[in-house]
Amino acid sequence: MNQPKSMQIEHWFAFADKWIPRKKEKIASGEGKQATYTSLALIHASLARTKFLNGDPIDEVRAEFARAARAILKSFTMAYDETDPNYQGKKADLSCNSETIAIRGFNYSLMAADFNLSAELAKWFQTRPDDVKMDVEVNRYAHALKHALLGEHQQASVLLKTQREAYEAKPSKRNDYRKNYYTLSTALYGILEKDEALFNEGLQLQVVFYQGDARGELKDTDEEFICDYAVALGNLGIKYGLKVTVAHDTLPKGLLIQA
């Protein structure tokens, strides 16, 4: 089993110990921007992974993932919730409300096993007022996951079916973003259809795809050892009554909820 070295874990803990207080001080001083919260989210998520890899109690791990998700949520309420004391209105930094940032927040909340938090974030994620969108594959998956978390299964299924059909008509020959979102869409579609085999097929495709990142740009980081996307969808599938049968180092059983 692939495990980090103790010196790596110590380094990741030290990074979190240094930067979380600095981000919180900036927020407390009134200088916290949306980007402050999204960067804080990444650090809390890193700390959550590190605590898990260090063998810390799962409740502590999930609490850190929840803090990460709430920081993402704050970036969205700052942009869209007029009752938020830090509401930005037309000054909102919409780059902090992108599809990929929302997906990270969804992942963190699902890894925290906090489905109410998932739904709260899903409520605020929306098409940007300036109508700027990421690639269609990313956009479809983000909105499909939003609908799934809100219990809007029909809307989610339509998006996922379209996504899968488009990819299968012209599959990618490379390990690119299109293939990535196809694997995720397959797993999520399996969840909504309550098709356990399809769900696990998608998870297996994802963890295999993720190895390219784990051995590449994510090597020697805490993300090398844990695939957030697979864990998040694994927990969502379990909540829907499905079993995770995929066995892979980056999909640790200890991060999955009990049926």
Q: Which of 63, 95, 128 is the last residue of a domain?
A: 128
Q: In this structure, which amino acid lies at residue 88?
A: Q
Q: List Cβ neighbours of 70 (8 Å cut-off, separation of 6 or more).
A: 117
Q: Are residues 102 and 172 in the same domain?
A: no
Q: Are residues 191 and 144 in the same domain?
A: yes
Q: Are residues 181 and 247 in the same domain?
A: yes
pLDDT at residue number 253: 97
Q: Is the pLDDT assigned to residue 259 strictly greater than 80? A: no
Q: Are residues 123 and 182 in the same domain?
A: no
pLDDT tens for each residue of 50-103: 999 999 999 999 999 999 999 999 999 999 999 999 999 999 999 999 999 999
Q: Are residues 79 and 173 in the same domain?
A: no
Q: Which of 99, 128, 157 is the last residue of a domain?
A: 128
| SS3 (DSSP) at 195 | coil
pLDDT at residue number 158: 98
CA distance 233 to 19: 29
pLDDT tens for each residue of 98-129: 999 999 999 999 999 999 999 999 999 999 99
Q: Are residues 207 and 101 in the same domain?
A: no
pLDDT tens for each residue of 226-237: 999 999 999 999
Q: Are residues 33 and 142 in the same domain?
A: no
Q: Are residues 228 and 243 in the same domain?
A: yes
**Running DSSP on this structure, what letter comes out for residue 224?**
G
Q: Which range marks the domain in which residue 42 is found? A: 1-128
| Mean pLDDT, residues 146-154 | 98
pLDDT tens for each residue of 25-59: 999 999 999 999 999 999 999 999 999 999 999 99
Q: What are phi and psi for residue 8, nearest 5 degrees? A: -70, -45
Query: In the structure, what pLDDT confidence band is assigned to residue 1 with cuts at 50, 70 and 90?
Result: low
pLDDT at residue number 128: 96
pTM: 0.97
Evaluate whether 117 touches 73 at the Cβ level (below 8 Å): yes
Q: Are residues 254 and 170 in the same domain?
A: yes
Residue 215, phi-psi category: left (phi > 0), alpha (psi -120 to 50), beta (remainder): alpha
Evaluate whether 255 touches 111 at the Cβ level (below 8 Å): yes
Q: Which of 128, 145, 177 is the last residue of a domain?
A: 128
Q: Are residues 47 and 7 in the same domain?
A: yes
pLDDT at residue number 2: 80
Least Cα distance to 114 among 122, 21, 187 occurs for 122
CA distance 65 to 95: 22
Domain count, the chain: 2
Q: Are residues 26 and 97 in the same domain?
A: yes
Least Cα distance to 167 among 181, 188, 154 occurs for 181
Least Cα distance to 180 among 199, 198, 202 occurs for 202
Q: Is the pLDDT assigned to residue 224 strictly greater than 80? A: yes
pLDDT tens for each residue of 174-223: 999 999 999 999 999 999 999 999 999 999 999 999 999 999 999 999 99
Q: Are residues 118 and 221 in the same domain?
A: no
CA distance 257 to 52: 14
